[in-house]
Homo-oligomer: A and B are copies of this chain.
Amino acid sequence: MNDQERDIIGKPLPRIDVWGKVTGDTCFADDLSLPRMAHAKLLRSDRPHALIKRIDTSHAQALPGVYAVITGHDLPKVKFGILPVSQDEETLCLEKVRMVGDPIAAVAASDEQTAQRAVELIKVEYEPLLAIMSLAEALAETDVRIHEYGDGPNIHKVVALEFGAVAAAFDQADLVREDLFFFQGNTHLALEQHAAIAQWSAAGKLTLWSATQTPHYVQRALAKVLELPPAHIRVIAMPVGGGFGGKTDPFSHEIVVCRLSQLTGRPVKLTLTREEVFYCHRGRHPALLWVKSGVTKSGEILGMHFRSYLDGGAYGSYGVASLFYTGALQTVAYQVPNYKFEGVRVFTNKAPCGPKRGHGTPQPRFALECHLDKIAEQLALDPAALRRQIVVAEYTKTANHLTVTTCGLRAGIDRVTAASNWHAKHRQLPFGKGVGFACSTYLTGAGLPIYWNAIPHSGAVVKVDRGGGVTVFCGSTDIGQGSNSMLAYLVAEQLGLTPKDISVVTGDTDLTPVDLGSYSSRVTLMAGNAVLQATERIRELLLAAVAKELAVPQTELLCRGGRIFCRNSPDQGRSFAEAAVLAETSHGTLACAGSYTPPRRSGNFKGAGVGPAPCYSFSACVVELTADPETGKITVEQVWLAHDGGNPLNPLAVTGQVEGSVYMALGEALLEEQIFQQSGVHQTPSLLDYLSPTSLEIPEIHTILVETGDPEGPFGAKEVGQGPLLPVIPAIANALYDALGVRIDEVPITPEKVLKALERKAQGRTPRVGPERLPDFTFPEPLEVPSAFGQPADPAVKRKTADHATPTPLQLSET
């Protein structure tokens, strides 16, 4: 029996939550009902920007069945927000509203209908203020300010960094090219609307059940706003029906139900309507992007200059991080020795933007990959071949001081081009059909926490019962991505059990150690490493006890198939439960903690914290599509996506993430857009109006898993939940160019835009639709930082060993 053989890791097992999901057993937050529970509703602003002169709640309070009506006066005057630097949200707005949808008052009543009727009885007198509804207006307007903080009148944040000497690089280049792109805002569109239930106990302790990705951050926000000690607040993250970043902020409704429960002595539930979600969700930033590169004839990049202009909406949210992210990862997939980044995020009177799958990177990736396609054409190079030769080197640093460990991108390019028969198709398909190519990279977990300078980022406790049961406690939350299953697999593999033998307890601030949350593709790596450490400690105790009992060296023992036994005489051993009894008898209660803190690998400059990750995933993508020149309609036929997510803990789950990413990318590329009327009202705030792909639009997806076995991840795993979304959008744009010869430098790529470009082409004008010019804004002088490009990774960086390599890469659906 080989030690390297695995029973769980790498196998296509069902997820542990699948039975509950398919039978309806799973209890989501809105499914929860508690005795005497009240139902809450929020009164939200119908003005985009206005002063609140008066709020009259008397009629609402008089309505039978109403238990409580509150305004901002009934709460401590404490603002909140996810980032310490952007504490700009009021639970209930007191003096002014900054967007349609801003919460003003809340009602708790016997039922939802009564609460809604009461909300409608609340009268608000406003004094209107100028509404700033676009990036350009925000940059221009100096008299009216949405917030009193930031880097300018309506500027939330400005950043300017230069690594190396970009101008000099341009001077040496054979070709210098610049392009401008626009990426429209869109939403996560999780099937589950946000819901929260609070219970203020008779003992004066608070419990909040919420559909959240970040229970510990929510606990922190509740403690701050409600002025309660965190020790008296328990936040329980319920199974989440889709997060995608949209449940990563603390939300007003979460605080409101807590306050209403305090006041009424009842459990209080509030589930957002679909329309409310369209205002609260913290979706993808609308972004204007400019990229200028200097390259050699053979396609090597000598220098790159990148600008992001983000329309942040009414509040800070994660916006500072989003802004940095739009500049951080351009240097990771490809060799970029000199790099300059300038970015600005403005406030507007619209729904605030924040993290959505790929947080801050789909917009620049769209820009960069379309830009590279244009460069390849100009240099008469194959787009895939161009990228293949400039792939970043393993175990080196990037210009902006990020450390790349493993990188399977070159293998991914080779496999995806081979599988798609790229070279036979590109520029060779009939008019109306095309293939497009793009690559991408994404981080496996943020190197810095949002809150707390404290470490670790993830903690876990593993307990073994003398009956043989194992429970793993971890603060992470399963938002549908399957992270609970991953933790169960890790424990089961290490202890020689099955996932069913493992009870997984997550996302409960009372029961579980801190984990920063389910965002940034961090859970499998960070929580996984914490769980592995705890499991390894437990395993040591079990092995030691059995070794003593059998009088054999501990190194002779294996844990497999529910037993601990001698590798060379498998009959000699003990069942897992017997081993647990032996270990507990000699050691005492079997419960061990483990934790994980990502390595500090950021550069020594301001803003260096956004981008560093223990390791990065890489994707290469080919899209084949049909574009109808008559209607402008694009039909994506096939997508080949090779993803280096390290070694997959479960190839089925990884493939599912790839397919989900492709689906979401398809929506962003072709259909989804979040547009507001000048009145501040969302143009399409319903599932009927907001266009998103259905199963009918889904192409054939060929997932190729490139297994690099990264030394940083548990059993070699890297990220997969977000990265595969990134290349699909530019690959579609590039394929459209291959099909029709038009460039739509703006998503979504709607039929109208395609027809408009074809019309321009017919007129002999540049066959392109997209933004025409940069806004009138001057960035400050950049912070100059020496480029770290090509430097070898620090000696302390873990390197791949035989243990992490898998001899034959698993191939799921490669054709």
Q: Give A459-504 interface residues, CB cut-off 8 Å to B.
A: 459-461, 463, 465-471, 497, 500-501, 503
A474's nearest neighbour on chain B, judged by CB, is B589
Is the C-beta of A779 less than 8 angstroms from some C-beta in chain B? no
Q: Is the CB of B511 within 8 A of A511?
A: yes
Q: Of A430-438, A590-598, A602-610, A647-655, which stretch is located at the interface? A: A590-598
Within the complex, the shortest CB–CB distance from A43 to chain B, in Å, comes to 30
Known: A203-B500, A589-B460. A452 touches B466 (CB 8 A): yes
Grouping DSSP codes into helix (H, G, I), strand (E, B) and loop, the A interface class, with mixed when no group exceeds half, is: mixed
Q: Give A565-605 interface residues, CB cut-off 8 Å to B.
A: 577, 581, 584-585, 588-595
Q: Is the CB of B513 within 8 A of A585?
A: no
Known: A202-B25, A585-B455, A595-B588. A510 touches B229 (CB 8 A): no
Q: Mark A3-43, 1 if CB is under 8 A from B, else 0.
A: 00000000000001101101101000001000100000000
Contact residues in B for A22 (Cβ distance below 8 Å): 202
Within the complex, the shortest CB–CB distance from A36 to chain B, in Å, comes to 9
Q: Is the CB of A219 within 8 A of B467?
A: yes
Q: Is the CB of B23 within 8 A of A202?
A: yes
Q: Is the CB of B510 within 8 A of A456?
A: no
Q: Measured between alpha carbons, how far is A353 from B194 in the docked complex, in Å?
A: 53
Contact residues in B for A17 (Cβ distance below 8 Å): 203
Q: Is the CB of B590 within 8 A of A231?
A: no
Q: Is the CB of A20 within 8 A of B513?
A: no
Q: Measured between alpha carbons, how far is A99 from B588 in the docked complex, in Å?
A: 42
Within the complex, the shortest CB–CB distance from A231 to chain B, in Å, comes to 4
Interface size grouping (class) on chain A: 35 or more
Q: Mark A388-426, 1 if CB is under 8 A from B, else 0.
A: 000000000000000000000000000000000000000
Is the C-beta of A201 less than 8 angstroms from some C-beta in chain B? yes
Contact residues in B for A594 (Cβ distance below 8 Å): 588-589
Known: A203-B16, A465-B509, A509-B465. A589 touches B456 (CB 8 A): yes
A514's nearest neighbour on chain B, judged by CB, is B466
Give the one of A231, A589, A591 with max B CB within 10 A.
A589
Contact residues in B for A786 (Cβ distance below 8 Å): none
Q: Is the CB of A591 within 8 A of B593?
A: yes
Contact residues in B for A534 (Cβ distance below 8 Å): 589
Q: Is the CB of B511 within 8 A of A231?
A: no
Q: Give A303-345 interface residues, CB cut-off 8 Å to B.
A: none
Q: Give A211-237 interface residues, CB cut-off 8 Å to B.
A: 216, 219-220, 223, 229-234
Q: Is the CB of A204 within 8 A of B505?
A: no
A534's nearest neighbour on chain B, judged by CB, is B589
Within the complex, the shortest CB–CB distance from A656 to chain B, in Å, comes to 18
Q: Give A758-791 interface residues, CB cut-off 8 Å to B.
A: none
Is the C-beta of A205 less than 8 angstroms from some C-beta in chain B? yes
Q: Is the CB of B510 within 8 A of A467?
A: no
Within the complex, the shortest CB–CB distance from A598 to chain B, in Å, comes to 14
Is the C-beta of A454 less than 8 angstroms from some C-beta in chain B? yes
Known: A202-B25, A467-B219, A500-B203. A454 touches B584 (CB 8 A): yes
Within the complex, the shortest CB–CB distance from A495 to chain B, in Å, comes to 11
Q: Measured between alpha carbons, how far is A204 from B223 in the docked complex, in Å?
A: 39
Contact residues in B for A532 (Cβ distance below 8 Å): none
Q: Is the CB of A591 within 8 A of B588?
A: no
Q: Is the CB of A231 within 8 A of B454?
A: no
Contact residues in B for A216 (Cβ distance below 8 Å): 467
Q: Measured between alpha carbons, how far is A465 from B577 in the docked complex, in Å?
A: 30
Contact residues in B for A23 (Cβ distance below 8 Å): 202
Q: Is the CB of A230 within 8 A of B500?
A: no
Q: Is the CB of B501 within 8 A of A231?
A: yes
Known: A20-B202, A230-B465, A584-B456. A511 touches B500 (CB 8 A): no
Is the C-beta of A658 less than 8 angstroms from some C-beta in chain B? no
Is the C-beta of A736 less than 8 angstroms from some C-beta in chain B? no
Q: Measured between alpha carbons, how far is A594 from B463 in the docked complex, in Å?
A: 12
Is the C-beta of A530 less than 8 angstroms from some C-beta in chain B? yes
Known: A19-B201, A511-B511, A588-B595. A220 touches B467 (CB 8 A): yes
A595's nearest neighbour on chain B, judged by CB, is B588
Q: Measured between alpha carbons, how far is A219 from B467 in the docked complex, in Å?
A: 9
Q: Is the CB of A463 within 8 A of B461?
A: yes
Selected from B452, B501, B595, the residue in CB contact (under 8 A) with A232 is B501
Within the complex, the shortest CB–CB distance from A567 to chain B, in Å, comes to 24
Contact residues in B for A503 (Cβ distance below 8 Å): 234, 510
A502's nearest neighbour on chain B, judged by CB, is B231
Q: Mark A277-319, 1 if CB is under 8 A from B, else 0.
A: 0000000000000000000000000000000000000000000
Q: Could you give 27 example pairs across A and B, Cβ below 8 Å?
A: A19-B201, A19-B202, A19-B203, A19-B204, A223-B467, A229-B467, A229-B501, A230-B468, A230-B469, A231-B467, A231-B470, A231-B497, A452-B466, A454-B466, A455-B585, A459-B589, A461-B463, A465-B509, A465-B514, A467-B509, A469-B509, A513-B589, A514-B584, A530-B589, A588-B594, A589-B595, A592-B593
Q: Beyond the given A16-B203, A31-B35, please list 9 additional residue pairs across the A-B interface where CB-CB is below 8 A.
A: A20-B202, A203-B500, A230-B465, A230-B467, A231-B465, A456-B584, A466-B514, A469-B510, A511-B511
The 3 closest A-B pairs by CB, nearest first: A230-B467, A459-B589, A19-B202
Q: Which residues of A contact B (CB under 8 A)?
A: 16-17, 19-20, 22-23, 25, 31, 35, 201-205, 216, 219-220, 223, 229-234, 452, 454-456, 459-461, 463, 465-471, 497, 500-501, 503, 505, 509-511, 513-514, 530, 534, 577, 581, 584-585, 588-595
